[in-house]
Structure 1
Amino acid sequence: MPNIKPISDLRNYNSVLKDVSASSPVFLTKNGRGKFVLLDIDEYEKMTASLKLLSELADGEHTGKEKGWLSIDHLEKSLEVKV
Structure 2
Amino acid sequence: MPKIRSSADLRNNYNEISTFCHDYAEPVFITKNGKGDLAVMSIETYEALTARFDLYAKLQEGLDDVAAGRTRPWEDVRKELSKQWGLE
TM over 0.5: yes
| Partners of 2:18 and 2:42 within 8 A in 1 | no
Counterpart pick for 1:73 among 72, 75, 85: 75
Aligned to 1:45: 47
Summarize deviations over 1:15-40 as a string: whole Å, max 9, x none: 43333224232111123332211111
Query: TM-score, structure 1 length as denominator?
Result: 0.75
Aligned identity (percent) is 33
Determine the C-alpha separation between the residues in 2 that align with 1:77 and 1:42: 39
Stretches of structure 2 that go unaligned for 5 or more consecutive residues are none
| RMSD between superposed Cα atoms in Å | 2.2
* More helix per residue: 2
Query: TM-score, structure 2 length as denominator?
Result: 0.72
Aligned to 1:30: 32
Name the aligned partner's letter for residue 34 of structure 2.
Answer: G
Determine the C-alpha separation between the residues in 2 that align with 1:58 and 1:7: 38
Aligned to 1:3: 3
Aligned to 1:14: 15
